[in-house]
Amino acid sequence: MAKRRPLLRALLELANAANGVRPLAREGYSTIPVFAFGWPTSEMSPLYLAGSVLDAVRRGLRGDFRSGQGRIALALTALTWGLLYLIHRRNVESQPHFEDPLREALGDEYPAIAEKAKPDRRRVVGVWPNELVRRRYVEKAGTIQYGPHGAVNQADIWRRSDLPRDGKAPVLLQVPGGAWSIGMRKPQAYPLLSHLADHGWICVSIDYRVSPRNTWPDHMVDVKRALAWIKEHIAEYGGDPDFVAITGGSAGGHLSALAALTPGDPQFQPGFEDSDTSVVAAVPIYGRYDWISAQGSGRREFLGFLQKFVVKKPILANREIYADASPSYRLRADAPPFFILHGQDDSIIPVPEGREFAEALREVSTSPVVYAEIPHAQHAFDFYYGSPRAHYTAQAVEEFLYWVQAGRKVAD
């Protein structure tokens, strides 16, 4: 029989909970395991708490807590439960940090303006497990080929089956994250995609070519090609090619921001330079916006990763490539409206990245720039269905995009 070590187990559980309260590391490669353990704890704390309590009951019945060490372990486990409850309460109470920035940037009347743009076809069906919700909205014929590169150029079209094919539903392109080396559309942004699909949107979620097999700017070219496909074909599915917004998290945040700031840029549209790749709004979430600066937490490691795996060229001799790939270096007065979200406790992409990009864009753009900084939120805070932050993200993005749509209707 394996030797029971209740004290060691309790200490590990406590450390994991503490990491969920506040990341235990913010420098170097240690941030990767800190995120890997911290994200599930910070967004799925009720499940962790329920599992820990049930397991403690099981271990108590077999006598794990009868010794002196066992009683200390039980006390530490109870402290872990307190931290998990704190994490959940902070998550639940974070809604104002999504809503207040919208009110500050768009005005107190923004909810009423957004409400006028919302159609009567909205509905809410509740929470579904990830793959079940995808099957609810993505028909077999709704997985399409948008580019020439096989399976990595496929996309899912999320739409309600009762949407009219001759309608003009608003459209959102979702660009997945994954450090420019994964880029899988499944199961990223499902809470947002299902929320908008419920409310009558058409959402397009793509795969794209990734590194190290592919080299920058292949990733961006595919995003642009997806936008071109949407403009040409989305009306066949009931979408409005004149109202296409873009979003993405992490690497997808970078790609969506860059796409919004470079409409028609020929270096990212080889062979389809004349295609319309403009968007009406951008919602980058916890993205990387600067591929140049080496100042700040984790920046040197990040630049080393780009040089070795993504761009595959040294930055000193190829600075223009890195600058052209940086949304922070592509700011423009005619940028579309932006809604930028970032978590304060992001251990993968530290929060100054989002904060500084939003400040710089505000100084240049004539369109609204909304910046929401979410206290205690880790990287990928919008990923999990059961997380209140994922729900608040979907609601806030919907309100922002309907506000943009209402403004365009007035302008027309």
Interval 271-301: pLDDT, tens: 999 999 999 999 999 999 999 999 888 899 9
- With cut-offs at 50, 70 and 90, classify the pLDDT of residue 1: very low
Is residue 2's pLDDT more than 70? no
Q: pLDDT > 70: what percent of the chain?
A: 93
pLDDT at 131 over 70: no
Give pLDDT, residue 123: 56
- 130 pLDDT exceeds 60? no
Instruction: Say which residue, 104 or 140, is predicted with more confidence.
Output: 104
Q: Which of 88, 97, 254, 379 is catalytic?
A: 379
**Annotated catalytic residue 297:** no
Classify 308 as helix, strand or coil: helix
Residues near 279 by beta carbon (within 8 Å), at least 6 away in sequence: 173, 227, 244, 245, 246, 259, 260, 263, 336
Q: What is the dihedral of CA 144, 148, 152, 158, to 10 degrees?
A: -20
pLDDT value for 184: 85
- At residue 162, the pLDDT reads 86
Which pLDDT belongs to residue 3?
A: 56
> What is the DSSP track for 242-281?
EEEEEEEETHHHHHHHHHHH-TT-GGG-TT-TTS----SE
Question: Over the stretch 60-83, which tens digit does the pLDDT of each residue have?
Answer: 898 888 888 889 999 999 999 999
* CA atoms of 345 and 347, how far apart (whole Å): 6
Q: Is the pLDDT of residue 412 over 90?
A: no
Give the burial class of 130: count Cβ atoms within 10 A of its Cβ; 0-12 exposed, 13-18 middle, 19 or more buried: middle
SS3 for 315-383, per residue?
CCCCHHHHHHCCHHHCCCCCCCCEEEEEECCCCCCCCHHHHHHHHHHHHHCCCCEEEEEECCCCCCCCC
Q: Any idea what the Cα angle at residue 165 is, between residues 161 and 167, rounded to 5°?
A: 110
Question: pLDDT tens for residues 243-253?
Answer: 999 999 999 99
Of 117-121, 308-312, 385-389, 397-401, the one with minimum mean pLDDT is 117-121
293 is catalytic: no
Place of tokens 């319309």: 276
pLDDT of residue 127: 47
The second-level CATH assignment, the architecture, of 96-411 is: 3-Layer(aba) Sandwich (3.40)
Domain boundaries, the chain: 6-92, 96-411
Q: Which of 290, 346, 347, 387 is catalytic?
A: 346
Which residue in 194, 250, 365, 367 is the catalytic one? 250
| Mean pLDDT of all residues belonging to the chain | 91
Per DSSP bridges, beta strands 369-374 and 338-343 are: parallel
Active site annotation includes 346: yes
Measured CA angle at 102 (ends 326, 336), to 5 deg: 40
Dump pLDDT digits (tens) for 316-337: 999 999 999 999 999 999 999 9
Least confidently predicted of 44-58, 87-101, 219-233, 346-360: 44-58
